[in-house]
Amino acid sequence: MSNSIESYIRDIPDFPKPGIVFKDITPLLASPKGLKLSVDMLAELVDPDSYDIIAGIESRGFIFGVPLATMLGKGFVPIRKPGKLPFTTESVTYELEYGTDTVEIHTDALDGNPRVLIVDDLLATGGTMAAAAELIRKIGGVPVAAALVIELSFLPGRAKLGDLPVHSLITF
């Protein structure tokens, strides 16, 4: 989908390492119009009656997930990097190009709110989103859909997510 959100995204070549084109969302966040438009459009992607709560992936998933939850009258669950959450946690470790990464969630995060919309800024290989969905299943939740600002369609992110519906505002 092409829309005016795209005009607020800045390409930074070779960041954080050679060959990667980093999609910088800071101009979008700095723009009152762009920021509001992005949250408003995320709210339209998935029927709010189909989920109970919004989970955001640290840290850019927090930026969009919290205003979306506030706007829709939902609660918010943080999916965090290891060692940050103070209560009992469940974790999932997943493969990166070099090495591994881990995400964590509180074991009681979904008590009474089983159906989850997962929010992040960008879908690349899909490893992070797949780990987040697995984490939600591990604590008894149901990932309903993934909502993202940006999707890199030249990478196999969607394939990695199996049946989980993926919705994004812009595709590159």
Active site residue 97: yes
Name the catalytic one among 6, 10, 58, 97: 97
| Strand, helix or coil for residue 3 | coil
Cα distance between residue 76 and residue 151, in whole Å: 22
Element (H, E) at 101: strand 100-106
Does position 171 bind ligand AMP by CB under 6 A? no
Query: Which region, judged by CB under 6 A, interacts with ligand AMP, from 35-43, 65-73, 105-113, 115-123?
Result: 115-123
What track of x and - describes contact with ligand AMP for positions 126 through 145 (by CB under 6 A)?
Answer: xxxx----------------
Active site residue 60: yes
What track of x and - describes contact with ligand AMP for positions 84 through 103 (by CB under 6 A)?
Answer: --------------------
Pairing of strands 10-13, 21-24: antiparallel
* Nearest CB to ligand AMP, comparing residues 24 and 72: 24
Best CA proximity match to 94, nearest among 146, 139, 135, 143? 135
* Nearest CB to ligand AMP, comparing residues 52 and 85: 85
Owner of token pair 């960008």 = 122
Cα distance between residue 37 and residue 123, in whole Å: 19
How is 109-146 classified by DSSP, letter by letter?
A: TTTT--EEEEEEEEESSSHHHHHHHHHHHHTT-EEEEE
What track of x and - describes contact with ligand AMP for positions 25 through 64 (by CB under 6 A)?
Answer: --------------------------------x--x----
* Residue in 8, 23, 55, 118 binding ligand AMP, rule: CB under 6 A: 23
Q: Which residues are catalytic?
A: 60, 97
The residues of the shown chain that bind ligand AMP, judged by CB under 6 A, are: 20-23, 57, 60, 120-129, 157
